[in-house]
Amino acid sequence: MKFCWTTLMVNNMEESLKFYQEIVGLEIERRFNAGPGTEITFLGDGETKVELICNEKNNGVNLGEDISLGFEVKSVEAMMANLKEKGIAIHSGPFQPNPHTKFFYVLDPNGLKIQFVENL
């Protein structure tokens, strides 16, 4: 079985695309209208994608506090500096639970925790 994508309901497609493209570094694979008032965008160039769905009838996105998406970076320090330059606050961290892993969290425009992890 192959894991295909994670779907995220978003409040604002343009704001979410800016975050996932400029901060996370994901490229748009495809973007389309999926009926009246609904737009879908798939991001990522690897096997697993992130799917963003924006529906104008949606009254707000409900995200669990214990859910996060993790993305690997070359350097936690460099990523934190990059985010600071862009005015994005660090939600928590950095943490180093063992000698081989270091990570921290930020929030996406909808309040979803995004983890940036460096494998040492």
Domain co-membership, 30 together with 81: no
Helix then strand then coil, % of the chain, to nearest 5 = 20, 40, 40
Range of the domain at 46: 1-57
Query: Residue 19 belongs to a domain with what CATH number?
Result: 3.10.180.10
Domain co-membership, 2 together with 48: yes
Under a CB-based contact definition with an 8 Å cutoff, are residues 9 and 56 in contact? no
Cα separation values, 33 from 11, 26, 37, 93, Å: 15, 20, 8, 38
Domain co-membership, 43 together with 78: no
pLDDT in tens, 15-52: 999 999 999 999 999 999 998 999 999 999 887 899 99
d(C-alpha 110, C-alpha 120), whole Å: 30
Domain co-membership, 28 together with 70: no
Domain co-membership, 22 together with 49: yes
Question: What is the model's pTM?
Answer: 0.87
Domain boundary among 32, 57, 82: 57
Query: Residue 95 belongs to a domain with what CATH number?
Result: 3.30.720.110
Structural domains counted in the chain = 2
The gap from C-alpha 17 to its chain's centroid, in whole angstroms, comes to: 9
Domain co-membership, 48 together with 100: no
pLDDT in tens, 42-92: 999 887 899 999 998 877 777 777 889 999 999 999 999 999 999 999 999
Which helix (DSSP H) or strand (DSSP E) does residue 97 occupy? strand 92-98
And the tokens for 106? Answer: 């930020």
Cα angle 69-111-80, degrees, rounded to a multiple of 5: 65
